[in-house]
Structure 1
Amino acid sequence: MKYIFLILLLFVLTDLRAQEPSSKWYKGNTHAHSYWSDGDDFPEMIMDWYKTHGYDFISLSDHNTLGDEEKWKPIPKHPFRQRRFAEYLTKYGSSWVTYKTDSTGQISVKLKTLAEYRPLFEEKGRFLIIQAEEVSDGYGGKPIHMGAINVKELVKPQGGNSVAEVMQNNLDAVYEQRQRTGQPMFAHINHPNFEWAIKLEDMVQLKGDRFFEVYNGHPHVHNYGDTATMGMEELWDKLLIHYIHQGKPLLYALATDDSHNYLEHKIGLSNPGRGWIMVKAQSLTAGALIDAMERGDFYATTGVELEDVSFKKKTLAVKVKPVPGIDYTIQFWGAEKSADGVRQGGKLLKEVKGIKATYKLRKKDLYVRAKIISSQLKENPYMEGDLVTAWTQPVAKP
């Protein structure tokens, strides 16, 4: 009788596992701009670009707006802009496009809201638009920007008496809205080195910060730093050390386009398709994607695709989905506990040539993350000579 019960229990558990939705990778970008702020294209044309280029989800994150009011956009006289208006009108027709021309020949277009254009593009399980904004604030002339993803209401810039306080006040505003409305949402600190605004000493003061941009495709954000200011990867490692020491959750990193320019593609412009995230979630919904990201089940990339990333038995394992003719180097970066308690920064712990590699955390390791560098030059890169790269999220022992 006992054995019959065990067999029945095994069948039940097997059946339950079979019914559980399997996770899959979803490609998305959470930082893009349109005519609703300082982008140079219509929201519908931007949605069409991302959807036809294999993205599963996208957020337009225009500055301090959800694009839900009435706005008329004067179309600049520049030939690119005029040609784009003609393409827009041809593609969607006069029954969709609302525009007017004044006595001087100036064309102005009434921009479509998310509620209006969303039905044209969204398909359940295939393409999702997540409402977002870039909360654009500042202190002492320094721009302080933050992505607010899947917000239900506009988050107004909160201000503050220091760079750190401005960031904290805006983070708090997003998470207050999340708690009050019950809607899943998150914030990420954007391009810290844009106009050299945000420093390590500012970010270490934050509470509740879980995400930042390790890579941003805008040409003026100084991803790699300079002789006086650290780049984003060095900043990430130093922040991880501080956060672990302070008992905070691990800091996760995104790659984003920060796209503004859609009519001309070249180095020096802020184009789409430069950086994105791959999220391993059970469904293509905002809630499932955010749940996965808060678990660290995603990676940032400029084109390297991974078959799998796992962390089991204190071992981080990475497997690349290879492109024929391309070589890969998998690096494991982390930090070690030091005898005197001083933790300076991250270091290269291990390097493997090939498409798969593992790293087992040692007692002295605080954390480990993987960086995968291909031999392939990035097409239309952030900076000339950039190689196609990916970054996994850090892991640490419980």
Structure 2
Amino acid sequence: MKMKANREMRCKFVSLAGACALLFSMATASADTQWYKGNTHAHTVLCGHADSSPEAVAKWYHDHGYQFLILSEHNIFIDPESVELPEDRREDFILIPGEEITGHKHVHSTAVNVHRLIDWTFESEVVSEIIQDHLDRTRDAGGEHILNHPTYRYAVTSEDMKQVSGLRLFELHNGHPNTVQHAHEVDSGFVTTEDMWDDMLTSGVAVYGVSSDDTHTLKEWNCEASNPGRGWVMVRSPELTADSITEALRSGEFYATNGVVLSRINRTEEVFQVEVDEKATLEALESPYVIGYRRSEASGGTLIEFVGPGGRVLKHVHARRGSYAIQADDAYVRCRVTFTRRAGAGYEQFFAWAQPVFTDGRLEPVPSTGGAPIGD
């Protein structure tokens, strides 16, 4: 089957041998903000098809340097107060309450920072109506909505997402082996999540891309297991609280990654500047947990690309830092950073995705979920 073949071509074996905590430097933030590493999508034994308790899952992320985690169980609300955290818990680690709303027609959404179970029983033959129901119920509960893995069973298209009023976040990268291949390699007749993103952005949708693990497995470690450590977000926020992190996500104050670490991001309406922390990236990629995309042909090193309407690359540079002077007619500009290294007879690629800047006034406020305002 093609999907399995794609995984096997790309995967490298991962094991616990020589495992070490991931080290990450933080991209430059303003004086009143900090950068926090987190995962918005993880499962526990409570769902019936994962292998570890909420305590064990929380401990893994705590012990590997994350600052926040959402235990987003399928149609189950896990109260963070019910989860016993490690005795040596760091002060800079929190659980944010949430749920994976697992609905009709394989539509799944993370309800971020909600404090009760969100109903998942709405049915429709129209995918966009299901997504809208998830989003509205999440916002009504005071949280923020993320549309999960649109390419899982090819359940959601960009046309579906464009019909949803107020959609702000979707999973650009998902580390589950049943979905990760779709980020850059898809079956005939389908498009990648980056193609979906550019289609939505070009159509005037103000939507940001998230990277997550979709963790299910801690007791078995290999390419076919849905292990942690394969996708995360770095969020810029005034403080490490559920409300503040949620506000930063919905405001696009984060970057998504599956291994590339940034040391600087500067996004204004005039200029987009990015710098890669090469040392921290190499340290991150020494981890046995990360898995890149395999390529038979590629150029090694770091590539920074600034992408605009239609997915057109406006500028690219083979360097660890790059900048782009934003033009008034660009409508939007986003940035993709690719790090490529040799892997066996071919190459392996890792990415960071910085959120778009909009110049056409499309960004309209959505109801606030709390927390302090985010500054540049």
Q: Could you say what secondary structure the match of 1:264 adopts? A: coil
Could you say what secondary structure the match of 2:350 adopts? strand
> Which residue in the other structure is 2:333 paired with?
368
Residue 387 in structure 1 maps to residue 353 in structure 2: no
Output the CA distance in 2 between the equivalents of 1:23 and 1:67. 29
1:269 counterpart (209, 217, 225):
225
Alpha-carbon RMSD across the aligned residues, in angstroms, is 2.1
Alignment of 1:329-348 (within 5 A): 329-335=303-309, 345-348=310-313
Partner of 2:122: 159
What are the equivalent positions in structure 2 for 1:27-42 lying under 5 Å apart? Answer: 27-37=37-47, 38-42=49-53
State the SS of the aligned residue for 1:191: coil
Listed as ranges, the gaps of 5+ residues in structure 2 are 1-29, 283-300, 362-376
TM-score (norm 2): 0.77
* Residue pairs, 1:307-322, within 5 angstroms: 307-322=263-278
Deviates more, 1:200-209 or 1:318-327: 318-327
Structure 1 residue 122 displacement after superposition: 9.1
Identity %: 35
Amino acid at match of 2:50: G
Q: 2:215, 2:276 → 1: CA distance?
A: 27
Q: How many residues align?
A: 306
Contact 2:269 2:326 (8 Å CA) reproduced? no
1:61 Cα offset (Å): 0.6
Paired with 1:325 and 1:66, the residues of 2 have a C-alpha distance of 35
Match of 2:112 among 149, 157, 172: 149
SS in 2 for 1:269: coil
- Alignment of structure 1 residues 195-210 onto 2, 5 Å: 195-210=153-168
124 and 61 in structure 1: CA distance in 2 versus 1, 3 angstrom threshold: same
Residue aligning to 1:13: none
CA drift of 1:357 comes to 0.6
Q: Secondary structure of 2:190's partner?
A: coil
Q: Aligned partners of 1:41 and 1:166: how far apart in 2?
A: 30
Quote how far apart the aligned CAs of 1:207 are: 0.5
State the alpha-carbon separation in 1 of the partners of residues 167 and 255 from structure 2.
18
Name the residue aligned to 2:103.
Answer: 137
Q: Find the aligned partners of 1:168 and 1:205 in 2 and give their Cα distance.
A: 9
CA offsets 1:101-143 (integer angstroms, 9 cap, x no match): xxxxxxxxxxxxx4232454695751011111100001xxx30
Q: d(CA) in 2 for partners of 1:226 and 1:391?
A: 23
Secondary structure in structure 2 of the residue aligned to 1:59? strand
Q: 1:1-398 alignment to 2 at 5 Å?
A: 22-37=32-47, 38-67=49-78, 114-118=80-84, 120=86, 125-138=91-104, 142-161=105-124, 162-178=126-142, 185-221=143-179, 222-224=182-184, 225-242=186-203, 244=204, 248=205, 250-323=206-279, 327-335=301-309, 345-376=310-341, 386-397=348-359, 398=361
The answer to whether the 8 Å contact 1:30/1:58 transfers is: yes
CA deviations 1:310-331 (Å, max 9, x no partner) are 1235111111111289631101
- 1: CA distance between counterparts of 2:281 and 2:130? 47
Residue type at the aligned position of 2:144: F
Structure 2 distance, partners of 1:220, 1:271, is 12
Secondary structure of 1:198's counterpart equals coil
- TM normalised by structure 1 equals 0.73
The residue type paired with residue 393 of structure 1 is Q
SS in 2 for 1:395: strand
Contact 1:210 / 1:252 at 8 angstroms: preserved in 2? yes
Q: For 1:269, give the aligned amino acid.
A: A
**Partner of residue 293, structure 2:** none
* Distance in 1 between residues matched to 2:190 and 2:357, nearest whole Å: 26
Distance in 2, matches of 1:288 and 1:239, equals: 26
Question: CA–CA distance in 2 between the matches of 1:41 and 1:372?
Answer: 33
- The CA distance in 1 between the partners of 2:155 and 2:334, in whole Å, is 26
CA contact (8 A) 1:121 1:127 kept: no
> Is the Cα–Cα contact under 8 Å of residues 278 and 300 in structure 1 kept in the other structure?
yes
Q: Which sits farther off after the overlay, 199-208 or 304-313?
A: 304-313
If asked which structure has higher relative contact order (CA below 8 Å, sep 6+), I would say 2
Matched letter for residue 362 of structure 1: Q
Where does structure 1 differ by over 3 angstroms across 4 or more consecutive aligned residues?
118-125
Distance 2:304 2:84 in 1: 39
Q: Is the 8 A contact 2:43 2:50 kept in 1?
A: yes
Q: Secondary structure at the match of 2:356?
A: coil
